[in-house]
Chain A
Amino acid sequence: MAEFTPVNLVTGFLGSGKTTLLQRLLADPALGDTAVLINEFGEVGLDHHLLERIDETMVLLPSGCVCCTIRGELSEAIRDLHSRRERGEIPVFRRIVVESTGLADPFPILSTVQNDPVLTHHFRLGNVITTVDAVNGAGQLGRHPESVKQVAIADRLVLTKTDIADPVSVETLLRDVQRLNPSAPLWQTADRSLDVDLLLAHDHFALGDKAERPLRWFAEEVAAGRRSTATGRNRHGDSIRSFSLAFEGQLDWTMFGVWLTMLLHCHGEAVLRVKGILNVANSETPVAIHGVQRLVHPPIHMTAWPDDDRRSRLVFIVDGLERGSIERSLETFLGVIASPLPADAILAP
């Protein structure tokens, strides 16, 4: 998917260090060819000044919160960057990073990039990076449902301000964040250097490449989701929990698609994330799926199994849904197709 420009989203609650993180990332030579879109809420935008980089590949979306008022503007801004890049008016960029307002629900932004009829042919979604403020994070998670959602849908989590926060509260927040989203790798800005490659480049689409590192990481992320099952509910957003399911044998891809679309249609608001490795009938290597609410990324045909485990594994982060009913439903749907049709079976139209 090299010809598709990845679009990353940096989100996180107000004052959680999104701009500081972005500033740090953009200083890395690996991200020298990145275009940046900044969405600011309020009459006078400041974040773009803090980045200390004003050039033609930096776009400010000043007219409101990107999630509810200016989705059209986001789409227009990315289209405009694309047109200018193709005409050679601006330097060639190989990645776009969108920094959302702290109040934004990330889902509409992701949906815009994936479903816009023009953007879908040139851009693809990359990792969502969520910053969590170690000083105020616990309070924000307790009071603002947006911040819980921002954590739950993240592909990568960065705990900021850990150097000025009380170590005990950092530990508590760390546990809470990992319960909300156990499969997302987590960094603390204070105590270790950020690996830009892992943060941005190792995304869902990298699983279709030949490189082994993303495969290993993906397997670790799914395994982390599985290990979390015993930790139970989270005190922030009591109804949000994560669990994992594993299935022996090969599953029927078509029936799985019927089931997942039906589930997401009916309960899309409550399925914050679904991610997994599927052992699909008539396929030698696994298929990686990755969904955020009603948005499902194109399924990736992985080049190899990341480990010896040949079971299909799915990790869910849900709000209010019961693990038992999801498991029973999926098993029943898949059980209907007891013997999948062979690849060369021809059905007369």
Chain B
Amino acid sequence: MCALCGILGPANHWTDAAARPGVFTRNLDSLQRRRERLQRVACAQRVLSHYRLTLSDWQGTAYLLSTPTGKTEIVDNLTHLWAAAEKLLGRRCDPLDPAVINHLGPARG
């Protein structure tokens, strides 16, 4: 927990796995970790744009998820992201939803 703002530290998420022997991670150094977070924001943003939500990194420790009207949630990791998005939207975020798939465009290959 941050001593200044009281925000709980992020839980250990598999996409953010700690650097341990044998484990695949992009958390090997601070630059790589930062780069991965920004890339994650960019990837998630492509999907979230379907719902008109905006995601941004917050101090390298959390993410801010906002609606067009400015309603904002702080999220720790990708799992919390989808729960927070559903809370802001009042509906489910389903990757199998044809509307989401159409929004993202044709499949690769």
Residues of A within 8 A of B (CB): 1-2, 115, 120, 205, 207-209, 248-249, 252-255, 257-259, 261-267, 280, 283, 287, 294, 296-301, 321, 325-326, 328-329, 331-338, 341, 345-347, 349
Contacts and interface: CB of A to CB of B under 8 A. Distances in A.
B5 interface: no
A32 B44 CA distance: 48
B19 to A, nearest CB: 10
Interface in B60-81: 78-79, 81
A337 B26 CA distance: 18
B104 A265 contact: no
10 contacts: A2-B21, A254-B15, A254-B36, A254-B39, A261-B15, A262-B47, A265-B79, A266-B92, A299-B25, A300-B22
Interface of B: 11-12, 14-15, 17-18, 20-26, 31, 34-36, 38-40, 43-44, 46-47, 57, 78-79, 81-83, 92-96, 100-101, 104-109
Contacts of A294: 79
Contacts of A262: 47, 78, 82, 93-95
Contacts of B109: 248-249, 331, 335
B108 A321 contact: no
Nearest to B108: A335
A257 B40 contact: yes
Which of A208, A258, A301 has the most chain B CB atoms closer than 10 A to its own CB?
A258
B50 to A, nearest CB: 11
Which of B18, B40, B46, B95 has the most chain A CB atoms closer than 10 A to its own CB?
B95
Contacts of A345: 35
Contacts of B100: 329
